[in-house]
Every structure is written in C-alpha cells, then in structure tokens.
Chains A and B, each alone.
Chain A
Amino acid sequence: MAAADIVGKSVTRPDAWDKVTGGRGYPVNVQLPGMLHGKLLRSPYAHARIISIDTSEAEKLPGVKGVLTAKDAPVRPFNPVYFTPIGCHSMVQDMVLFSDRVRFVGQPVAAVAATTEAIAEQALQLIDVDYEELPTVFDPEEAMGENAPQLHEASPQNIAKNPSFEVGDVEAGFAEADHVFEGVYQTQRVHTCYMEPRVCVIDCDAQGHFTVHSSMQHIFGLREKLAYALDIPEGRVTVVKPPYIGGGFGGKLDIGYIEMAAALLSERIGRPVRIEHTRHEDFISTARHPIKVYLKTGVSKDGTITAREAKSILDTGAHATHGSEVIMVHGMFGVVFPYRCANKKWEGYTVYTNNMIGGGYRGYGCPQGCFAVESQIDEICEELGFDPIEFRLKNAYEQGDPHPFNPAWNLNSYGYAEALERGAAAIDWSRRQPAGSETGVKKRGIGLGTQGVWVSGCMGFPDIYEHTGAIIKLNADGSADLASGTVDLGSGQITTLCQIAAAELGLEPEQVRMSYADTDTVPFDAPTHASRATYSSGLAVQAAAADAREKLLEVAAAMMEANPQDLEVSAGRIEVKGSPGSAIPVADVVRMAESPFMKDTAEGPQPSCPPEHKGTIMGSSSLAPPENPSPATALFVEVEVDTDTGEVSVLRCVYAHDLGRVINPNAAEGQVEGGMQQGIGYALMEDLQFDTETGTCLTSDFLDYKMPTAMEMPREIESIFVETNEPSGPFGAKSLSEQCVTVPAAAIAAAVYNAIGVRIRELPITPEKVLRALGKL
C-alpha cells in the first residue's frame, strides 16, 4: 500500500485481537513472584487532626508484612500532576503522602501490605486512629469568606491560585455595546469513569532500584514524581509502559497515593507490592472540577461582541492537584479565546474546600467554559434575533488569523466555518422551530454548540512538557518495531502511530509493530493528554521513521548501484523511481546490512555492502513539535423533552470536527462517539454527590453514579470530518479527542431550551430541574 493510501485508512487495531480474547496487556493483570497486596486506610472525616495512630494490632496479624503511617513517609510537599516538572512555578505543591491532618473524606492515613488482599483489609480494621474533628467548608464561595476554616496556611481565604487576564479596555467595550448580557453558569463534579481501576505493582530490588508497573497515562512523569516523593535519584526508578490501559480520559494523569505507598512498602519489605483501587476509591480520587462562571458579554446592534468579562470559581477540594492548571486552561480556552473580541477580562479562583481532590478530565476546564460561553451566545441570539450560526461566524476566527494562544503561530488550517456549514446541512438546521413552540407533551428541539479554539498539545504553556520521541528498528523479515513512550489509553495510538510509521517508511501498516518500552529505553515523551498524541507523538514517529528510511535507502542504493535520491520505498519494496522492474524487498536490504557475509561476484568474494552500512537499520527522534495547531468543532443535536416526566432524550447528533487530515477514520469516529457519550452524561445525568454535612461521597458506585448505557445513547451519531491540511502536522493531521467532550453539554442545553423555551444554567439537566424550570415542581 502506498503512503497516500495508508493515511486515511481504517486500519484494524492490532491490539483488538488480544482484547477480544481476554486482553493480556492491562496493568491489572501484572503479577510478580512473591507479590504482596497493599491497602490504604482512609479518613472518615472531611477535616480532622490525627492525635495518634496505633498500628500494633495490625502488625501482629499473621500475613501482614508492613504498615506505614505519617512517621514513615516523606514530608516534602509536592503536586501529583505528571506533566509539569518538579519545582515549576505554576504548580501549587501542597500534598504529602500521609500527614497528621486530613482535609477530605477518603484521604489516606496509613497503608498495609499483606500476603492476601483479605488480610490487608482485615489489618486496616485493626489500626486505631484517634481524630480530632475540625470545622469544615464545602462551598468554594463560602471558603473564600472571612470566617471560613483555613485549609492551607499558605493560602489565605483558601485561594490556591488567582490568575487573571486582560486585553483591551473592557469598560469602553461595554460602553460601546448596545446590549449587555449577564449570567451565572454552574457545572458539577463528574468522574472520568475509566473502566480499568487504577492499579500499580512496584518492586524494589536489593540495590534499591524500583521497577514500576502502573495504569498511569505517563511513564516519565511517574518516574519523576515517584523519585521526588521518595527523595531518590530518577535513575533508581524504571517505569514499564503497559501495552495498553483500560481507559484514562485524564483520570490517570497523576501519581496516586497508591504508587507512593506501594513503593515505600516494597522498599521496606523487599517484595513487590500491588495496590488496586476499589471502584469506590476510584470515584473519590479524581474528578472534573465544578466551576461556577459569572459571565458578562456586550454586543453591538450588528451582532459584534464588543466586550466580555468573566469570573470563574473552581472548587479544587482539599488540595490543588490539577486545579491550579485547570483554571488557566478553562479561563483561556473555555472563556477568553473562543471568539474574537478586542476587550476581555477574566479572573479565576482555584479554591480549597473539604471536598475530594480533582483531576485532569478530558477537556481540562474547557467543557465548563464552553457550557457558559455557548449557553450565553444562545441567549444573545434568542433575545436579539440573530441566527446562531451567523452570529458565531461573525465573531469567529478565520483561517490565517494569529492563534489566540500564541501569536507566533497562525491558524494555518482552520475549518470552523466549514464545520458549521456542513453540520447545519446534515441536521437540516432550517427546520428548527422557534423556542418552545411545539405543542404536545413531548417537545423536540435542536441546539448548537461550538468550540473554536483548542490545542494539539501544550507547547504554549511554558511549564508543561511537550517534547516527545520514538525509536524504529527494522527487522530482517522486512518488518519494523516501533518503541514510543506514548501510552495507549484506548484511543488508538498503537494503530495510528504504526500507520504513520508505515506510511513514512514505505511498509504495509501490519508490518509495523508497537513494541515494548520503558523509561530506560525510549526517549522522553510527554503524557497522553491534551489531545496531543496523534499530532506530537505522530511527528516524533514520523521523524524517527524518516531517519530509518534514509539509512535504508543508503544501503539499498549501494546494493542497487543507484543514488539514494533516485530511490523510493513503498509497500515493503524499494525501486528506482519510475522503474518497477528494479524493485528489491526491504527485507533483502535489512538482511544485507545485518549480515556479516561477503557476496560472491565475478571478481571473487566482496564485502556485501560497505562497512559503514553494516548494522541494524534504525531511526530515532527526540523533538518538540513546532506548534500545537487548533482544531475546531461544531455540534448539532436534536432532543426530545418529556414535559410530564422532565426526561430529556438525545435523538440525534451531527458532530463536525476540523481535525486536519484523518489518519484512521474508524478510530476518529470512535473518539467522537465516545466523547458524545461522556458529554451526554455530563449534560444530563452524571453528578458526584456528597453529604453536605459530612462530605461523604454518596455516589461512589456505578449503581448510584449514573452514566449513559446503550439505552440512553442516541441511535444516530453522525461524524463529519472537515479535513483541512495542517502544514505542521504528521501527514497534515492535528488533534481530536477533547473537542469531542467539550461541546455536548452546551449543545444539549441549547436544544433543551429550543424544545421547552426555558433556560437551564446548571448541569446536569435532570428531570427534576426540567420540571422545576417548567414550573411543575
């Protein structure tokens, strides 16, 4: 297959065969000889001081091999987020493994390792902790008040971070406006709901070297954070890349309490220690932050946005973790950037409360911003009689505009307008009726949401890793092994990266295999996050493949007595351009380079190829991508609202994405469909709820935490790919993943408004809220 045919083909996932027959590669399956099982004891209080811990009974239990408490754990505060280096200034470092003060229900206070899980659990019951309860605060705005309990000494009024952004003259912008709109938009705490629980197996050998298996999304970040937490050099930690993990969606982006505890236990006991979360533990360990957005927008008569001012309050729970970064991404990409506007001002607050800690959920602050911004645009259009598509196009960026994130970049490929146009045609936008005009109990509505600016990675954030690399090695059978630190969370990097390598190397896609990798053997790679893997890791793989190809053609040229520039490689064969009769298999060239032998010639035996060509034909790369181009998205949904029960059903969606050149359409559709599901859950049902008195999670189970099943999903999800060609991307590609979950809540809220004529500004849009909005409750 020629390169042009490999890119854009729905190549079958090589890992799918293994997964349908059992799936050997998941981290939960890792078993090591002599392995012990660890468990964490967690605080039942939302805020308390630990007066004393007595572990003596637990230690006496037969089968218990080790117990850890605060006195055994390092005290250097850190932030568990993987993708920023230790010590970078933007991160708030406010966490330790075990402390004498707990700030949320579920905070670990001790760990046990035993020969079986059951014994470890039993041992937890025998640990006697004496707590002194402290006053709690669960509402972030209350927490900012003068009299609220202070959760961290370094952060007065519980404000962990308070970024702001201003451009132009907002007052003048509002003075210029003919209409000013104000609204408050509230989102809830939701969980990523990866299906494979978080797990690790850590083995410390006799020399103090740690080998780490974990379900985390970033092997290099785990190495760095673990070394820091244990206060040892990074060279003493090897993190093994799992062949694949059972989902992540950002929820496995940071080092967990489990990795630190397992490492310390293993070091102390001298045996491998495994710790796996229960589903309850997963639910209370990571979440998308609830954000309240106060949004004010000025609009002129002709529909130009003249000013925008916003304040966002993010509940980061007991520790900053991702909250100090999510607020920035939310403010910039969610609130400030999406539309052109000369006068903008935004202020964000990352606020401590006694709620659970947050994490990095797909979209990273943007879904919360998109819900606010797009909902308000819908309100503006409704009130002033603008068509929502035309209004957006009037205020949107255009191809060639500077990228709002980094003016050094331009929007060189930008299909926002085309996404809107094609989506509108597919859903037949013209049939949309005035809001609330349908009669009958079940009312239908059509809504629209868009996201104009996003990233394919994190280059523009100076504190976030973006560099990446790969190694490709050709085998004597003509196949190639690709080693990369990029963890496949399920989104298909194994497939797409192999496709990119095959296209560049001139092999068939099935001739490239994603092979073993660990932090010792492959170049540094940033996490699989921020919609970056296809773009950034793809560029690294392409560069490594190009490097290998160059060497391949040099050897081939010597064999064929030709000029390397005159050769081309395709479908595993090398030929002089335009002369198919000259073709020789790639395998022959690799064998020649690897073989020690001489070849027979008329003049007797001669070296088979020049000595400088001898050896393995391979290529490598380690690079930072030139930029992180923006994708663009428009989503149209049709809903039906039952005005008797308040239930909302999403009937149909048309999701149009500019993602640059599509590498694998089937995998890309999979991202869209899965993103839509998470978006529907966010819009209509998912909600991590807590007891308002005690802070105990009430929905830490799939029985109580409702996410969409096959029944709740629309029967029709149409993906439209606007294939702009991104000049900086691998084969023209850019990113997709997070855009797919960012927009649904906004579009569904708009559709619900269109159906019933009443606006709901607080997610999730439950039947109860619908009935309340209709005045029926």
Chain B
Amino acid sequence: MKQLITLNINGEQHELALSPDTTLLKALRQELGMLGTKRGCDTSACGCCTVHLDGKAVYSCVVYAAAVQDCEITTIEGLGSNGTLDPLQEAFVEAGAVQCGFCTCGMIMSAKQLLDEQDHPDEEQIRQAISGNLCRCTGYTKIVDAIKMASEA
C-alpha cells in the first residue's frame, strides 16, 4: 500500500505517494527524476548514492524515504547557488578529478561534509572522508587534489 510522504529536498517540498519500502535513492531517481544521485550497488558499499541528511553524508540506497521526512535532504543538484558551482565542483573540473564521473557526485557530497566541518583538512583526513566512496578510474589522486584545492579556495 502506498503512503503519502513529504520530502524536503534542496529547500523544496515534494509530496510523493510511495510504498513504504521505497529507498530515498529510488525516490530521487525514479519518482522525482533527480538523476545526479547514482546507484552503483544498492547495498551501501560504493558511495555513488551519497546525499546529505541534515548536513551529514549518507548512502541514500539504504535509507527509506518515509523515514527521512523530517530531514533536510541535499543532493548534488542542491549544490552551488545562483548559477554558480560549489567550489568543490569547480575544483573537481579544474583538477581533472572526473573521468567517467559516475562516482563524482557521491564523492563531492562526501567531501562537502568534510569541508563544511573543517576548513583545512590534511591529506589523511581527506582520504578518510572519501574512503566510503569507490572510484575505479582515477586512483583517487586527482580527487584528493581537487578537495585540497577546494579547501584552499
């Protein structure tokens, strides 16, 4: 049986009729057409689906949409403002941290929490912060460079 729920995503309210076992990832991609959040595994192991709940990076594939109605949800589409990109997005482009890019949005969301909480993280803190996000293309080198670059911007 579907239930009516309200999600607060990137500052906007969305009303949805969902079955109770719908994950936040599914709600974003399939119900709302917000395709920036990716599904790489669906089992909380790759990080492609990372979004923020009240500023904390979480895997949206293992969170039920109905359970996060009280949270402020931020997705990659909510980054930056007034047509300008977030410094992290700029830095990922600049540093060459994007190859296939399938991990990129999740990676940026994890890095975003780090930079929100810490002004100048060192390399180990950066690596730790993205250790729940898999990337198969870059070896992480330029991703770490990009996060450093953004933290210095």
Cβ–Cβ < 8 Å partners of A703 in chain B? 43-45
* A20 near B102: Cβ-Cβ < 8 Å: no
| A247 touching B144 in the complex, CB below 8 Å, given contacts A12-B93, A23-B35, A196-B38 | no
Centre residue among A16, A20, A26 by max chain B CB count within 10 A: A20
| A491 touching B139 in the complex, CB below 8 Å, given contacts A16-B93, A20-B104 | no
* A674 near B138: Cβ-Cβ < 8 Å: yes
Question: Which chain B residues numbered 95 to 148 have a C-beta less than 8 Å away from chain A?
Answer: 96, 98-105, 108, 123, 126-128, 130-144
Q: Is A489 part of the contact surface with B, judged by Cβ < 8 Å? A: yes
| A701 touching B93 in the complex, CB below 8 Å, given contacts A20-B104, A244-B100, A490-B101 | no
* B98 near A16: Cβ-Cβ < 8 Å: yes
Minimum CB–CB distance from A343 to chain B (whole Å) comes to: 39
Question: Which chain B residues numbered 34 to 52 have a C-beta less than 8 Å away from chain A?
Answer: 34-36, 38-46, 48
* B140 near A195: Cβ-Cβ < 8 Å: no
Question: Which chain A residues numbered 475 to 502 have a C-beta less than 8 Å away from chain B?
Answer: 489-492
* A711 near B41: Cβ-Cβ < 8 Å: no
Minimum CB–CB distance from B103 to chain A (whole Å) comes to: 5
* A246 near B142: Cβ-Cβ < 8 Å: no
**Size bin of chain B's contact surface:** 35 or more
Question: Which chain B residues numbered 68 to 99 have a C-beta less than 8 Å away from chain A?
Answer: 76-77, 79-80, 85, 89, 92-94, 96, 98-99
Cβ–Cβ < 8 Å partners of A15 in chain B? 98, 101
Minimum CB–CB distance from A679 to chain B (whole Å) comes to: 9
Minimum CB–CB distance from A424 to chain B (whole Å) comes to: 22
Minimum CB–CB distance from B76 to chain A (whole Å) comes to: 6
What CA separation (Å) do A670 and B139 show in the bound complex? 8
* Interface membership of chain A positions 650-673, coded 1 if the CB is closer than 8 angstroms to chain B and 0 otherwise: 000000000000000011011011
Q: Compute the total of residue contacts between A and B using a CB distance below 8 Å.
A: 178
Cβ–Cβ < 8 Å partners of B36 in chain A? 21-23
Q: Is A165 part of the contact surface with B, judged by Cβ < 8 Å? A: no
Cβ–Cβ < 8 Å partners of B46 in chain A? 195, 279, 702
Cβ–Cβ < 8 Å partners of B45 in chain A? 701-703
> In this complex, what residue of B is CB-closest to A12?
B93
**Size bin of chain A's contact surface:** 35 or more
| A10 touching B35 in the complex, CB below 8 Å, given contacts A19-B104, A22-B105, A195-B46 | no
* B140 near A713: Cβ-Cβ < 8 Å: yes
Q: Is A622 part of the contact surface with B, judged by Cβ < 8 Å? A: no
Cβ–Cβ < 8 Å partners of A192 in chain B? 136
Question: Which chain A residues numbered 709 to 760 have a C-beta less than 8 Å away from chain B?
Answer: 709-711, 713, 715, 717
Cβ–Cβ < 8 Å partners of A670 in chain B? 96, 99, 137-138, 142
What CA separation (Å) do A194 and B141 show in the bound complex? 18
B residues touching A (Cβ–Cβ < 8 Å)? 19, 33-36, 38-46, 48, 76-77, 79-80, 85, 89, 92-94, 96, 98-105, 108, 123, 126-128, 130-144
Pairs A–B under 8 Å by Cβ, sample size 23: A13-B93, A13-B96, A21-B85, A22-B36, A22-B77, A23-B105, A26-B102, A192-B136, A194-B136, A196-B38, A247-B99, A247-B137, A279-B43, A490-B101, A491-B99, A666-B96, A673-B140, A673-B142, A677-B135, A677-B140, A701-B41, A709-B130, A709-B133
A residues touching B (Cβ–Cβ < 8 Å)? 10, 12-13, 15-24, 26, 28-29, 31, 118, 192-197, 244-247, 249, 278-279, 489-492, 666-667, 669-670, 672-678, 701-703, 707, 709-711, 713, 715, 717
